[in-house]
Amino acid sequence: MRELGIETADLKRTFIDIDELSTQCRFHDCTHRSEPGCAVRHAIEAGLLSEGRLESYLKLKKEARYNGLSSRQIEAEKITAMFSGMGGIKNVRKFAKEKNRKKQGY
């Protein structure tokens, strides 16, 4: 989006179908990936919505999160997201340090 010069994205307007379906999801913070009771996933399984449309929505939603941030802030957000599954960047650094100590024989 930034490369195209698009500063903001109105997801509710562009993806009105997904927005309306998401109000029917069991969880208000549904990611539409694997949660039970997801109306968006149900629509995909029923052939009412394409997987590609959901992927486009999720990509644009992710990109919209960076709207108004500096390049340094965007990089920090991406790093945080990248390592969130490992408990955060601090845990990754700790793991790397321990691995390096074992490699050196300490």
16, pLDDT greater than 70? yes
For residue 81, what pLDDT band results from cuts at 50, 70 and 90? confident
- Spatial separation of the C-alpha atoms in residues 78 and 10, rounded to whole Å: 22
Q: How confident is the model at residue 56 (pLDDT cuts 50, 70, 90)?
A: very high
Spans of all domains in the chain: 1-68, 70-106
> Is 18's pLDDT higher than 80?
yes
Q: Whole-prediction pTM value? A: 0.61
Q: Does domain 1-68 have CATH number 1.10.40.50?
A: yes
Q: Quote the percentage of the chain above a pLDDT of 90.
A: 41
Q: Which residue has the higher pLDDT, 90 or 50?
A: 50
Question: Is the separation of the CB atoms in 62 and 8 below 8 Å?
Answer: no
- In the block, tokens 């969130």 appear at 84
